[in-house]
C-alpha cells in the first residue's frame, strides 16, 4: 500500500487527478470506478479542468459507480446518479452508454445486482477504482461487519452513516435506509484502488485502514491485501498514523523505486 500525504485538500485532489489522468493516457479505454461524496469533488473538478484545458479524453472510458440509495430516482437531487451528472459527467466527453450507476428503482434487486457484476466483467474488470472512507472505516456502503468477500448487493445503512448523510436531506427521516453497493470482494478485484480521505474526522478510520488489523469491522482494511492500493490524504486525515515519517520518506524517494 502506498500512502501519500499532502499539505492541503487541493494538493491531495491534484495528486489523485494526476494518477487517474496517467492511467487514462496509458489506456484510453480505461474502466474507471467512481465514488460519490464530498471527498472526491476536488478530484472531479481537476479532471474537468484537465479535460477542458488539456484535452484529457474520456470518449473511450467506461465508468462504474460504487453505489446508490435504494428508492431514489436518478432525478432526485440526493441520488448518486444526479451527483455524478452534475459534478462530473456533463462536464466531460464520456459517452452516456458507457456510464453505469446502480439504479435505485429496480424491482428484482438480486437479479439487478448480478447483472451489474456481469457488466463489470463484460467491460474487462475495473482498472482503477476511486474510493472514499466513512468515519467507521467503511468503503462504498460496506458497513462494519460486511463480508470481505461480498459482492454487489442491497445493504442496510448504519445509524452513523444515516446521520452523516442527513445533512444532505431536508429531514433526517428522509435519508434512505437501504442502498445498492459494490461488495468488498468486487472492489478488491479492481486492478488499482485509489482511496482519498481528508479532514480530522477521518483520521481514526485512516489509521485503522492503514495500520490496524484486517477486519470486517473496518471494511477498508481489506485494502491492505490489495496488490496495488494507493491512499492519498491531507495532513488532518493523516494525523493519527504512527509511521507517517516512513510513508513520507517512501514518497520522497519514489524515483528510486521506478514509480
Query: Which three cell numbers, joined as nine digits, stand for 156?
Result: 442496510
Domain range list for the chain? 2-257
R_g of the chain, CA atoms, integer Å: 17
Q: 126-163: per-residue pLDDT in tens? A: 999 999 999 999 999 999 999 999 999 999 988 888 88
What is the pTM assigned to this prediction? 0.94
Secondary structure (H, E, C), 2-49: EEEEECCHHHHHHHHHHHHHHHHHHCCCCEEEECCCCCCHHHHHHHHH
Q: 71-130: per-residue pLDDT in tens? A: 999 999 999 999 999 999 999 999 999 999 999 999 999 999 999 999 999 999 999 999
Q: Which residues are part of the catalytic machinery? A: 67, 136, 138, 143
Q: Give the separation between CA 102 and CA 104, rounded to whole angstroms.
A: 6
CATH 3.20.20.140 is held by the domain 2-257: no
Q: What is the mean pLDDT of residues 234-245?
A: 96
Q: 5-58: per-residue pLDDT in tens? A: 999 999 999 999 999 999 999 999 999 999 999 999 999 999 999 999 999 999
Q: Give the separation between CA 185 and CA 104, rounded to whole angstroms.
A: 21
Cell 470518449 belongs to residue: 59
pLDDT, residue 74, reads 95
Of 38, 86, 25, nearest to 196 by C-alpha is 38
Amino acid at each position: 500500500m502506498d500512502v501519500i500525504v499532502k499539505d492541503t485538500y487541493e494538493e491531495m485532489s491534484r495528486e489523485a487527478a494526476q494518477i487517474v489522468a496517467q492511467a487514462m493516457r496509458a489506456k484510453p479505454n480505461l474502466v474507471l470506478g467512481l465514488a460519490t461524496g464530498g471527498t472526491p469533488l476536488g478530484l472531479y473538478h481537476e479532471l474537468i479542468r484537465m479535460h477542458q484545458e488539456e484535452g484529457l479524453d474520456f470518449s473511450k472510458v467506461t465508468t462504474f459507480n460504487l453505489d446508490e440509495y435504494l428508492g431514489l430516482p436518478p432525478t432526485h437531487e440526493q441520488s448518486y446518479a444526479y451527483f455524478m451528472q452534475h459534478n462530473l459527467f456533463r462536464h466531460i466527453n464520456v459517452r452516456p452508454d458507457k456510464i453505469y450507476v446502480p439504479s435505485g428503482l429496480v424491482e428484482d434487486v438480486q437479479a439487478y445486482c448480478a447483472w451489474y457484476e456481469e457488466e463489470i466483467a463484460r467491460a474487462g474488470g475495473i482498472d482503477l477504482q476511486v474510493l472514499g472512507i466513512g468515519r467507521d472505516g467503511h468503503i462504498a456502503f460496506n458497513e462494519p461487519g460486511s463480508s470481505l468477500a461480498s459482492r454487489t448487493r442491497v445493504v442496510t445503512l448504519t445509524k452513523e452513516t444515516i446521520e452523516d448523510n442527513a445533512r444532505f436531506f431536508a429531514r433526517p427521516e428522509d435519508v434512505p435506509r437501504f442502498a445498492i453497493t459494490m461488495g468488498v470482494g468486487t472492489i478488491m478485484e479492481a486492478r488499482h484502488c485509489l482511496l482519498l480521505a481528508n479532514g480530522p474526522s477521518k483520521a481514526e478510520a485512516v489509521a485503522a485502514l492503514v495500520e490496524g488489523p484486517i477486519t470486517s469491522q473496518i471494511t477498508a482494511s481489506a485494502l491492505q491485501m490489495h496488490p496495488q492500493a494507493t491512499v492519498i490524504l491531507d495532513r488532518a486525515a493523516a494525523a493519527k498514523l504512527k509511521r507517517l515519517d516512513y510513508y513520507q520518506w517512501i514518497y520522497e524517494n519514489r524515483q528510486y523505486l521506478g514509480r
